[in-house]
Amino acid sequence: MREMKDSGIEWIGQIPVNWKIVPFMIFLDNIVNAIVDGPFGSDMKNEEYVDDGVPVIQLGAIKECWMDFSKMHFITNEKADTLKRHNAYPKDIAIAKMMPAGKACEIPDTYTRYVVSADVIKASISNEYIRKYIIYALNSCATVQAEIESQGSTRSRVNIEKVKRFKLPCPVQDDIKQIIIYLDKKCAEIDSAISDIQSQIEALEEYKRSVITEAVTKGLDPDVELRDSGVQWIGKMPVHWDCQRGKYILRYVQKPVRDDDGVITCFRDGEVTLRSNRREEGFTIADKEIGYQGIDVGDLVVHGMDGFAGAIGISDSRGKASPVLNVLDTEQNKRYIMYYLRSMAYNDVFVALATGIRVRSCDLRWNKLAELLYPLPPVEEQKAIVEHIDSVLERTNAIIAEKKQQIETIEEYKKSLIFEYVTGKKEI
């Protein structure tokens, strides 16, 4: 058992006697702009983004120990040249300035240079093992994030001066190398296990979608006689089903707003509920509620811009919403209509039918919903289909929730493992 001493830092606790406590800036390369944050928003505007060029590292791209390129924006090389102070390069560290503050990853060599946005700090540390050690340390404990956040702001934000002075345990060189080799191996094994579980979740989500699509277009009887529906995305349907346009079976309704109504949001997972039931952060709050409408419990709601992604559901709350939400009534089973519309979303039918597509949305207003063709089983059969789908989804969602809990448990174990080794409480 190695001899330990008090580090004098609450979040670190004890460290080996031959380790030191040093400020973050000690690890930085001796170069100009070794640690900088991004430019003010006015220096890099959204309208300056282009399809290709120099990637901009934004807050959402920074994951724990890796970088997400799925939603990367770009600026021209000429624009990047005007922001040289904020340029970053492969092997630099990117640190998130906002929640979860302090999260960090190494910038990969996918591109030759990058520019960091206003909510990101880049730090240059050329020594590979020290760089990886710092990244592990920053991601190891929520207290790390609290220590480097600025105070007095409505949104938690990392203070770059605090980052420079932030104190970290510093092992001897041989210990750093051994720690990194060990953590790289163990974390790769853990990440592989998480990836396997995530693949299982994705397969279950796909299964749910296939069950919905099969039930709302083919019914529940595998031996039923089928006929051509005349609709490409439906294909064949039971011979006794009807097929009608939305304007003949749906009603577009607009209800008055009450003084005590809260704001309702239709989320992409299909939940329609008061915004306060989920979260308040990340929403744009309207200065004037022009055209707002009332929504009652049980109303069928289709999001006019996010419906293509599955934002279609039955409201569980009374409240108000912007006119971007289509509120519909029908004599048919509302949940059956909901599931049918969701099946179209899951199969990218709305995207295929769109005449003009904006980034991450396509228009799905009443005039389009009214002209769509809907397969219509008898109402009693609609009820049976809905009960079947609800039952399958309930069981499958329970399995998915269990697997997500497994991932959370594994991730907590990973974080704990990293913390124990970067603070020297466990020895290789």
What's the token pair of residue 234?
A: 């439906």
The percentage of residues in the chain with a pLDDT greater than 70, rounded to a whole number, is 90
The residue with tokens 């949001």 is: 265
Average pLDDT over residues 149-172: 75
When the pLDDT of each residue in the chain is averaged and rounded to a whole number, the result is 90
Is the pLDDT at 191 greater than 80, yes or no? yes
Q: Report pLDDT for 153.
A: 46
Domains plus CATH for the chain? 4-170 (3.90.220.20), 242-376 (3.90.220.20)
Is the pLDDT at 157 greater than 70, yes or no? no
Is the pLDDT at 304 greater than 70, yes or no? yes
What's the token pair of residue 303?
A: 């999001």
Residue 273's φ and ψ, nearest 5 degrees, are -155, 170
C-beta atoms surrounding 336 within 10 Å: 24
- DSSP three-state, residue 348: coil
pLDDT-based confidence at residue 283 (cuts at 50, 70, 90): very low
Q: Report pLDDT for 399.
A: 98
pLDDT-based confidence at residue 154 (cuts at 50, 70, 90): very low
Taking only the tens place, the pLDDT of each residue in 193-251 is: 999 999 999 999 999 999 999 999 999 999 999 999 999 999 999 999 999 999 999 99
pLDDT-based confidence at residue 112 (cuts at 50, 70, 90): very high
Parallel, antiparallel or unpaired: strands 167-170 and 87-88: unpaired
Buried b (16+ CB within 10 A) or exposed e, 141-152: beebbebbbeee
The percentage of residues in the chain with a pLDDT greater than 90, rounded to a whole number, is 75
The residue with tokens 């519909």 is: 328
Identify whether the C-beta of residue 173 lies closer than 8 Å to the C-beta of residue 138: no
Nearest to 376 by CA among 331, 342, 345: 331
Average pLDDT over residues 95-118: 87
What's the token pair of residue 196?
A: 């396997």
Identify whether the C-beta of residue 138 lies closer than 8 Å to the C-beta of residue 98: no
Average pLDDT over residues 373-393: 98
